């Protein structure tokens, strides 16, 4: 694991965006794994700016997001589909058919998980995966206790996660109880991983990750078994 301490949030965002830009320059048909939430917001702003300045394109890229809430669709402002459109997809040239998120409205959720996992595999797995980290160590929505061998699956969100994410909803009761998430095995198949963690709130999770004990009780710890992870962190 490669630890990179940053001075501020903008430095983290710029550094992450530059790593994605380099990836696209090297491999224009990359498969990118994307995250939502507060951590990558500045990253998307920077990546869009770099795209507008020219030099690279997303036309041949496939993207797969980590997760989506069950019960929310693309038109719902609190869905991750909506987040991705307003933060990124609306400003770059990725064909819609190459933008993938789990369908939280699928009638058959288990089938949806299987198809999502299969689509990632058929895409040759992810070249470059962006991650945030939950205060409880979740990556994607793989909450503590999730099997390290998990594939894309339906997950029950913990009260802690629902409480933390309630700031994006009118109340905690509005936060869906479940989500579809890429599994830990799926994430580990990525060739390169960038984890973003900024702020006092994340300091505990980062300290625990740095301590190095690998346990399913702290899902992010699986990253110690990955050969190419950069952790961009600071407070």
Residues binding ligand F6R (CB under 6 A): 35-39, 66-67, 132-134, 138-141
From residue 228, how far is each of 62, 99, 213 by CA, in Å? 21, 24, 18
| Cα distance between residue 182 and residue 146, in whole Å | 11
Residue at token pair 């006092």: 200
Shortest reach from residue 132's CB to ligand F6R, in Å: 2
CB 113 within 8 A of CB 102: yes
Q: Determine how β-strand 128-131 pairs with β-strand 62-65.
A: unpaired
Let me know if 67 is a catalytic residue.
yes
Shortest reach from residue 96's CB to ligand F6R, in Å: 20
Let me know if 143 is a catalytic residue.
yes
Of the pair 37, 104, the CB lying nearest ligand F6R is at 37
From residue 32, how far is each of 53, 105, 115, 161, 192 by CA, in Å? 20, 23, 17, 25, 10
- Out of 67, 68, 112, 117, the active site residue is 67
Let me know if 65 is a catalytic residue.
no
Shortest reach from residue 42's CB to ligand F6R, in Å: 11
Of the pair 58, 140, the CB lying nearest ligand F6R is at 140
Closest-approach residue to ligand F6R (CB): 132
- Provide the annotated active-site residues: 67, 136, 138, 143
């Amino acid at each position: 694991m490669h630890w990179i301490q940053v001075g501020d949030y903008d430095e983290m965002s710029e550094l992450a965006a530059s790593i994605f830009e380099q990836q696209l320059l090297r491999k224009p048909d990359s498969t990118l794994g994307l995250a939502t939430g507060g951590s990558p917001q500045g990253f998307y702003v920077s990546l869009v700016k770099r795209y507008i300045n020219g030099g690279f394109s997303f036309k041949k890229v496939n993207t797969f997001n980590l997760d989506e809430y069950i019960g929310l669709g693309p038109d719902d402002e609190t869905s991750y589909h909506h987040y991705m459109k307003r933060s990124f997809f609306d400003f770059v040239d990725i064909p819609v058919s190459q933008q993938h998120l789990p369908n939280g409205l699928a009638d058959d959720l288990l089938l949806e998980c299987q198809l999502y996992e299969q689509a990632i595999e058929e895409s040759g797995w992810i070249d470059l995966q962006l991650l945030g980290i939950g205060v409880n160590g979740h990556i994607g929505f793989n909450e503590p206790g999730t099997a390290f061998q998990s594939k894309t699956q339906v997950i029950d969100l913990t009260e802690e996660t629902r409480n933390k994410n309630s700031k994006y909803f009118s109340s905690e009761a509005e936060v869906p109880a479940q989500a579809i998430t890429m599994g830990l095995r799926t994430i580990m198949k990525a060739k390169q991983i960038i984890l973003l963690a900024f702020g006092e709130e994340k300091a505990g999770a980062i300290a625990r990750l740095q301590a190095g004990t690998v346990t399913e009780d702290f899902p992010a710890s699986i990253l110690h078994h990955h050969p190419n992870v950069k952790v961009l962190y600071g407070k």
